[in-house]
Structure 1
Amino acid sequence: MTINGQTVLDDYGDTDIQARGRDSREPRAGWVDGPLAGFIYHDLRHPLTAILAYSELLAEHDLDGLQREDLCREIRLAVCRMNDLISLLVEFSKGTATPRLEVADIVETVNRAVHVVAVRPEFRRIVIRYDHDGLTKGYFDSRRLQQVVINVVLNACEAVALHTGRIHVRSLGRQDHVEISIWDNGPGVPESIRHAIFQPFVTCGKEGGTGLGLAIVQKILHDQGGEIYLEPARKDGTLFRLVLPFVSPSG
C-alpha cells in the first residue's frame, strides 16, 4: 500500500519503518506526526488479518449458507473499518482531522467496537461483557470513539489469560458527557510504569508491542475534549475510564 508515493504496508501487512521515519523528519504543512501515523498504519493490520482469515475459511471449508453469510458480513465490516482508518489518515495528513459531531448511539458504537475484537479467533474464549446505563443518543464522533474503544479492549484481551480472561465494558450516558469503563482481570499495570502509561513507546513488555496504543488513544480523546484515566491499582486487574463530551439531542 502506498501513500504519497511511499510504501507504508508491505505484502505481509507490515509497516515500512524506514519510509515512515523519513517522512516524520520531513516538515510538511498539516502532516500527521510520526507516532500517530505509525498507530494508524499498524492498526490497519487488524482488519487485514480478519479479511485474510475469513476469506480462507470461505475457500477451504464446507460451510452452509448461513455460515457463509456470517463470514461475508465480517469481511464487509473489516473493509468498512479499513475505509474509516484510511479516511482518518487522509484527514490527519491534510490537517483537517476535526471531530465529526453528529447524533449517534453510544450502545451501537461500543457494541461494534467490542464485536470487532471479540470475533478474533485468538480471543474467542475470553468472556467480554458489555452493559450500559443512562442516555444512549447524543452528539459525538462515533467513528473515533469506536477506534478508541477497540484499542483499549484489544489491550485488555492481550493482557488476560486466553482461557480464563474476563473483560467488563460499561458505559454511562449523562446529559453532558459519557463515561466508559473497561476492566480486565489481567495482572495489572506494573507500578514502575503507571505514571508514564500514556506516554509514547511505554509498554508492559508485550511481544510485538510498540507502546503507542494508549498514547494515541489519549490524543484522540484530547482532540475531542475528552480524557482517559488509569484507575488506582487493584488486586483484581486493571480499570481504565474514558470520559467524553456527550450532548443529548434533547438537551
Structure 2
Amino acid sequence: MFGIDPDDLPDGLVVADAAGRIVVFNAAAVKITAMARDDAIGLPLERALPLEDLKGRRWWTLTDPYGGLATRVAQPERNLLLPGGREVLVSARYVREHPTGPVSRLVVSLRGTEARRRSERSNAELIATVAHELRSPLTSVKGFTATLLAKWERFTDDQKRLMLETVNADANRVTRLIAELLDISRIDSGRLEVRRQPVDMAAAVGRHVQAHIANGQSADRFFVRIRRDLPGLWADPDKIDQVLGNLLENAVRHGAGTVTIEVAPVPARSEQGEEEGTAVTVSDEGPGIPEESMGRVFTRFWRGSKRGGTGLGLYIVKGIVEAHGGAITVGRGPGGGAEFRFILPVGTPAYLT
C-alpha cells in the first residue's frame, strides 16, 4: 500500500498526540486557519485551534477530549468559529490503544463552509423560483374558481368552458413544476430510477414534431433526418420523452429558422472505450448561446433568454441522460444557432441490470 501525504488531502487535517500537542498540520489546515505549519506544530490543540461554538463557548473545554468519557470515540461535524468569526466545519475522532483507555491521538478534520454556503444559496434560489412560478397559476386557479362559485348562473356555457380550460391548463403547469422538483431531488440524491424498455427513437422524435405542428407550428419549421441501421435502444421511454420534449421546446421557443433533428448510430470503438449507441442532435438557426455561457447551460436556473421558464429543464435533461450512462453536449450548430447532442449507449434490459 502507498502512504498518503496529508498535504494531498482536500480537507484540513490536524493530529494531536496523547499530550494534546499538534504533530500533524497539513496544507489545507494552513489555508483554512491562516496559521503557518511551523507555528502550529508542537502547540497545545486549544492554542492552535481556539475554536468556539456559535454561543461563544470554548469547544475544547466543552468537549474535553482527553478527560471526558472513556467510551467516546468521536465528535460529529458541526459549525464552529475561529478567531475573527471565521466559520469552519469541524469533526474529531478519538484514537485509543484500548477501547476504554486514554486518548493516544486526536484526529481533527476541518472543512471550509464555501460548499455549504453555495448549496444553501442554491436551495434558497430554488425555493424563490418555485414560489414565483407557483404564484401565477395558483392565483389564476383561485380567481376563476371563486368567480365560478360566486356567479355560476351569470355565465354562458362557452364562458364556463373557457374558464375551466384555463384552470385545467394552470393545474397542468403546477403539476409539471412539481414533477421537475421531484426530478431534481432524485438527481441530486442519486435516486433517479431508469426503467428500461425498448425505445424507438425515430418514432419518439416523430411524435414530438407532430405535437408541435398540432399546436400551430409550421411543418416546414422541422427537418428530421433518421440515419439507417440504428442499434436497438433500451431506455426509459418516459424520461427520453422528457429529454426530447425539453430540447425541442427550447429550439422552437428560443431559436429561429429551421429546427433540425438528427438520429444516428454511434459505432462501437473499443480502442477508445466508446460503446455502441444512439446519438440525437437538435439544432436551430437562431442567435445561439454565447460562448461565455456554454459552461453554464446545464446548471440550475440557467436561462437562455427572458422568455420565462424555471431554468431547471436542461439541468434535469443532463441528469436523465447521465442516469442512462450517456452524455450530452452543447455547441453551435451549422446554421449558427444552438446545437444539443446527446448519446445514449445501447443499454441492457431492466431484468438484466
TM range (shorter): 0.5 to 0.7
SS in 2 for 1:98: coil
> In structure 2, do the counterparts of structure 1 residues 234 and 107 end up closer, same or farther at CA, with 3 Å as the change threshold?
closer
Could you tell me how far 1:236 is from its partner in structure 2? Answer: 2.5
Match of 1:128 among 222, 247, 253: 222
1:115-148 Cα deviation digits (max 9, x unpaired)? 3333223x33761121211225321222211110
Report the Cα distance in structure 2 between the residues aligned to 1:204 and 1:92, rounded to whole angstroms. 25
Match of 1:103 among 188, 192, 198: 198
Do structure 1's residue 153 and structure 2's residue 253 form an aligned pair?
A: no
Match of 2:265 among 173, 176, 195: 173
- Identity fraction in percent: 26
Root-mean-square deviation (CA, aligned residues, Å) is 3.9
Q: Counterpart of 1:118?
A: 213
Match of 2:319 among 189, 198, 219: 219
Instruction: Please list, as runs of the form range in 1=range in 2, the aligned pairs for 1:1-251 lying within 5 A after superposition.
Output: 89=182, 92=186, 97-121=192-216, 123-124=217-218, 127-133=221-227, 134-135=229-230, 137-161=232-256, 165-174=257-266, 176-232=276-332, 236-247=336-347
Report the Cα distance in structure 2 between the residues aligned to 1:106 and 1:136, rounded to whole angstroms. 10
Unaligned runs of 5+ in 2: 1-122, 138-156, 159-171, 269-275
Tell me how many residue pairs correspond in the alignment. 178
- The answer to which structure, 1 or 2, has the higher relative contact order (CA under 8 A, 6+ apart) is 1
Could you tell me how far 1:233 is from its partner in structure 2? Answer: 6.7
**Structure 1 contact 126–167 (Cα < 8 Å) conserved:** no
Paired AA for residue 120 in structure 1: N
Unaligned runs of 5+ in 1: 1-23, 26-33, 46-58, 61-78
> In structure 2, do the counterparts of structure 1 residues 185 and 232 end up closer, same or farther at CA, with 3 Å as the change threshold?
closer
Report the Cα distance in structure 2 between the residues aligned to 1:126 and 1:192, rounded to whole angstroms. 32
Report the Cα distance in structure 2 between the residues aligned to 1:138 and 1:198, rounded to whole angstroms. 24
Q: Which has the larger radius of gyration?
A: 2
Report the Cα distance in structure 1 between the residues aligned to 2:334 and 2:222, rounded to whole angstroms. 19
> In structure 2, do the counterparts of structure 1 residues 110 and 248 end up closer, same or farther at CA, with 3 Å as the change threshold?
farther
Stretches of 4+ aligned residues off by more than 6 angstroms: none
Could you tell me how far 1:177 is from its partner in structure 2? Answer: 1.1
**Structure 2 contact 251–284 (Cα < 8 Å) conserved:** yes
